[in-house]
């Protein structure tokens, strides 16, 4: 049996046939520079305020699944981030950056397979896929987006292996495509759009490069995806309590609504192309220069007829729309966030085709300069959008205030005794949800303590004040997988802290605004605090 590395090498040899490897190495390096000039401004501390501490807590304990969402592999992509703990969160950002960049290289390979005679089309498609997600701020949130960037990479690898098999490659390519598709869908079920209709679009787009009959490859891929879809859907529809997706997304198959959402998403993805040109800066000049280097390093190739090129542009549009298809069925996703990372590969191919078609209308000698001007301008605009989104994150990230609160908590309680519950009365809404604060506290104190936000959003972790203490009742679906059993904390195991006006204080006596019971007489927070021993470590950027 041959290894996956052997098959990866076979793909590389196929795509690079007749072209010096050194040139493709320069193209890959140039694409890395194109991407890095903008994405290097992204911070690991772009926090939305909800899921980030959950991700840190779970991955630090080796937990990779979201059982309530039926995503058993979601956080496997975030595990490299643990290598940077406890000192900082930068390793999460590096992993996220790696998945995005590798996705761009897979787009390069897919475009090479679709049009072997147009190497520059591949370089353009990869560059645009890497830089053009103009309104997707979620893409710049590493801790919250790792599962999406990793799943997208797996889905694109599945499509590349599928194309290789359809073009005459060994059956092992089809097996590899199925394996990658399974990993992608079990990480994030939203990739089924890329895998299903997206795969069909690319198989048809192969055209004369397809060595196996269209009916055979489409039937085989449909059969493979049926198994993947069953693994995704059956737990959702068979759950006696309903599913996170079906209850939260409110699916609607009304054609007018689906079409409206499609038009909105297309407008968000392509509308910024008509924006005013950005003010040039050092980063934008560097991005444009790297794009020019990638294009010049790409062999000219023998060219592709305009009709074939136009068909590939339609295929790119189809791939982009296919990526949205599962999410267009719900009005809950009417926003560009989490959407443009999925559609960027398809629209990257479409924009690459559009660039080459526009340049082809000019006389021969003017085509390369026109292609350079258009591509460099588009990459600069995409980089400018990334920088603008990061400036927005600099203003609204929840990390500074959350970290400050946690830092003050550690100052009040350097360590806590096993089985302590920290109750936060948060007048400023720094931690809007209990699950966020619970996992932040659990991570800081090595699992010896948990957190509760009084009056906060109780998603996953409802709680109630009883006569004998506070009963925390995690959803049954997460209790065993996350090792979070239901538990009653006696009032003598509680530490109540109050956040107001930017200050955190310890409530030494039972607060009048919390539910009172006979057991509250035993409230003794100082007895739960350990001083002079180990001190909790809060990750920095």
Which pLDDT tens digit goes with each residue over 78-131? 999 999 999 899 999 999 999 999 999 999 999 999 999 899 999 999 999 999
For the beta carbon of residue 109, count every other beta carbon within 10 angstroms: 23
Mean pLDDT of the region 217-245 = 79
At residue 531, the pLDDT reads: 86
Residue with more model confidence, 255 or 150: 150
Instruction: Answer yes or no: is pLDDT of 134 > 70.
Output: yes
State what percent of residues in the chain have pLDDT above 70. 93
Nearest to 151 by CA among 194, 191, 198, 95: 191
Mean pLDDT of the region 356-378 = 93
At residue 11, the pLDDT reads: 47
At residue 331, the pLDDT reads: 81
pLDDT band with cut points at 50, 70 and 90 for residue 158: very high
Residue with more model confidence, 505 or 246: 505
The string over 270-299, giving b where at least 16 C-beta atoms fall within 10 Å of a residue's C-beta and e elsewhere, is bebeeeeebeeeebbebbbbbbbbbbbbbb
Task: Yes or no: say if 270 and 347 are a contact pair by the CB < 8 Å rule.
Answer: yes
**Do the bridges between strand 529-530 and strand 415-416 make them parallel or antiparallel, or are there none, so unpaired?**
antiparallel
SS3 assignment, position 535:
coil
Q: Which of 28-32, 272-276, 301-305, 525-529 has the weakest average pLDDT?
A: 301-305
Task: Yes or no: say if 65 and 73 are a contact pair by the CB < 8 Å rule.
Answer: yes
pLDDT tens-place string over residues 444-484: 999 999 999 999 999 999 999 999 999 999 999 999 999 99
Mean pLDDT of the region 38-50 = 96
The mean pLDDT value of the chain amounts to 91
Measured distance CA(121)–CA(132) in Å, rounded = 16
Nearest to 145 by CA among 209, 78, 225: 78
Nearest to 31 by CA among 351, 354, 257, 296: 296
Cα 507 to chain centroid distance, Å, stands at 39
**Do the bridges between strand 503-506 and strand 494-500 make them parallel or antiparallel, or are there none, so unpaired?**
antiparallel
Measured distance CA(66)–CA(164) in Å, rounded = 33
Phi, psi dihedral angles at 46 (to 5 degrees): -75, 90
Q: Residue 503 pairs with which residues in a beta bridge?
A: 500
What residues contact residue 77 under an 8 Å CB cut-off, 6+ apart?
95, 99, 146, 147, 149, 150, 151, 187
Q: Which of 2-6, 432-436, 458-462, 490-494 has the weakest average pLDDT?
A: 2-6
Mean pLDDT of the region 25-32 = 95
Instruction: Answer yes or no: is pLDDT of 333 > 80.
Output: no
In whole angstroms, how far apart are CA 134 and each of 129, 382, 384, 390, 531?
Answer: 11, 6, 9, 11, 49
pLDDT tens-place string over residues 212-226: 999 999 999 999 999
The string over 194-220, giving b where at least 16 C-beta atoms fall within 10 Å of a residue's C-beta and e elsewhere, is bbbbbbbbbbbbbeeebebeeeebbeb
**Do the bridges between strand 420-426 and strand 449-453 make them parallel or antiparallel, or are there none, so unpaired?**
parallel
Residue spans of the domains in the chain: they are 4-45+89-396, 399-530
Instruction: Answer yes or no: is pLDDT of 45 > 60.
Output: yes
DSSP string, 387-452: HHHHHHHHHH-SHHHHHHHHHHHHHH-SEE-TTEEEEEEETT-SS-BHHHHHHHHHHHTTTSEEEE
Q: Which of 190-199, 242-251, 376-385 has the weakest average pLDDT?
A: 242-251
At residue 77, the pLDDT reads: 97
Residue with more model confidence, 236 or 8: 236
Task: Yes or no: say if 57 and 440 are a contact pair by the CB < 8 Å rule.
Answer: yes
Measured distance CA(130)–CA(1) in Å, rounded = 35
State both tokens at 74: 């979601």
What residues contact residue 113 under an 8 Å CB cut-off, 6+ apart?
14, 15, 160, 163, 164, 167, 206, 209
At residue 3, the pLDDT reads: 47
Measured distance CA(149)–CA(322) in Å, rounded = 17
At residue 528, the pLDDT reads: 96
Q: What 8-state DSSP symbol labels residue 80?
A: G
SS3 assignment, position 496:
strand
Residue with more model confidence, 331 or 385: 385
At residue 4, the pLDDT reads: 44
**Residues 200, 202, 208, 212: what is their CA dihedral angle, to the nearest 10 degrees?**
-50
479 membership: H or E segment, kind and range: helix 476-479
Mean pLDDT of the region 339-354 = 96
At residue 277, the pLDDT reads: 81
At residue 242, the pLDDT reads: 52
SS3 assignment, position 115:
coil
At residue 2, the pLDDT reads: 45
Task: Yes or no: say if 297 and 161 are a contact pair by the CB < 8 Å rule.
Answer: no
Nearest to 181 by CA among 196, 171, 169, 166: 196
Measured distance CA(343)–CA(325) in Å, rounded = 10
Mean pLDDT of the region 350-360 = 95
At residue 364, the pLDDT reads: 84
pLDDT band with cut points at 50, 70 and 90 for residue 10: very low
Mean pLDDT of the region 325-338 = 83
State what percent of residues in the chain have pLDDT above 90. 77
Q: Which of 114-118, 234-238, 525-529 has the weakest average pLDDT?
A: 234-238
Phi, psi dihedral angles at 277 (to 5 degrees): -55, 140
State both tokens at 494: 């509680």
At residue 1, the pLDDT reads: 40
Nearest to 152 by CA among 174, 136, 135, 175: 136
Measured distance CA(294)–CA(352) in Å, rounded = 13
pLDDT tens-place string over residues 174-196: 999 999 999 999 999 999 999 99
Mean pLDDT of the region 430-450 = 96
In whole angstroms, how far apart are CA 412 and each of 447, 514, 529?
Answer: 18, 21, 8
Q: Determine the straight-line distance between the first and last CA of the chain, rounded to whole angstroms.
A: 44
State both tokens at 357: 């078609």
pLDDT band with cut points at 50, 70 and 90 for residue 495: very high
At residue 248, the pLDDT reads: 56
**Do the bridges between strand 449-453 and strand 503-506 make them parallel or antiparallel, or are there none, so unpaired?**
unpaired
């Amino acid at each position: 049996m041959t290894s996956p590395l052997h098959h990866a090498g076979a793909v590389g040899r196929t795509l690079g046939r007749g072209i010096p490897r050194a040139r493709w190495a320069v193209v890959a390096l140039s694409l890395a520079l194109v991407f890095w000039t903008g994405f290097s401004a992204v911070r690991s501390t772009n926090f939305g305020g909800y899921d980030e501490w959950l991700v840190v807590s779970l991955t630090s304990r080796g937990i990779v699944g979201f059982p309530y969402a039926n995503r058993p592999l979601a956080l496997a992509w975030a595990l490299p981030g643990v290598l940077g703990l406890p000192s900082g969160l930068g390793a999460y950002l590096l992993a996220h950056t790696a998945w995005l960049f590798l996705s761009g290289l897979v787009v390069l390979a897919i475009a090479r397979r679709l049009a072997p005679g147009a190497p520059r089309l591949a370089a353009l498609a990869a560059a645009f896929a890497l830089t053009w997600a103009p309104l997707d701020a979620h893409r710049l949130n590493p801790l919250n987006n790792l599962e999406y960037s990793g799943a997208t990479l797996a889905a694109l690898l599945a499509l590349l292996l599928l194309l290789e098999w359809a073009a005459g490659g060994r059956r092992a390519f089809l097996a590899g495509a199925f394996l990658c598709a399974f990993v992608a869908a079990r990480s994030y079920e939203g990739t089924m759009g890329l895998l299903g209709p997206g795969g069909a679009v690319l198989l048809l787009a192969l055209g004369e490069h397809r060595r196996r009959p269209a009916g055979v490859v489409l039937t085989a891929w449909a059969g493979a995806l049926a198994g993947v879809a069953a693994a995704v859907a059956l737990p959702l529809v068979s759950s006696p309590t309903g599913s996170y997706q079906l209850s939260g997304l409110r699916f609607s198959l009304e054609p007018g609504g689906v079409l409206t959402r499609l038009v909105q998403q297309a407008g968000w993805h392509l509308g910024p192309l008509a924006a005013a040109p950005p003010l040039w800066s050092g980063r934008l000049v560097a991005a444009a220069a790297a794009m020019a280097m990638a294009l010049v390093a790409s062999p000219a190739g023998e060219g592709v007829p305009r009709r074939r090129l136009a068909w590939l542009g339609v295929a790119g549009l189809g791939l982009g729309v296919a990526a949205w298809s599962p999410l267009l069925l719900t009005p809950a996703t009417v926003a560009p966030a989490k959407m443009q990372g999925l559609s960027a590969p398809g629209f990257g191919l479409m924009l690459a085709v559009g660039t080459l078609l526009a340049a082809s209308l000019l006389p021969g000698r003017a085509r390369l300069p026109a292609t350079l001007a258009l591509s460099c301008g588009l990459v600069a605009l995409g980089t400018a959008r990334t920088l603008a989104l990061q400036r927005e994150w600099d203003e609204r990230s929840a990390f500074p205030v959350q970290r400050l609160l946690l830092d003050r908590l550690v100052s009040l309680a350097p360590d806590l005794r096993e089985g302590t519950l920290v109750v936060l009365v948060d007048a400023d809404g720094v931690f809007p949800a209990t699950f966020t604060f619970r996992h932040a506290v659990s991570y800081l104190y090595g699992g010896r303590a948990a957190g509760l936000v009084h009056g906060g959003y109780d998603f996953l972790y409802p709680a109630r004040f009883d006569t004998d203490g506070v009963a925390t009742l995690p959803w049954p679906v997460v209790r065993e997988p996350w090792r979070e059993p239901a538990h009653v904390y006696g009032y003598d195991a509680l530490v109540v802290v109050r956040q107001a006006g930017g200050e955190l204080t310890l409530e030494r006596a039972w607060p009048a605004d919390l539910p009172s019971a006979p057991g509250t007489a035993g409230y003794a927070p100082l007895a739960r605090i350990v001083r002079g021993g180990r001190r909790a470590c809060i990750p920095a950027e």
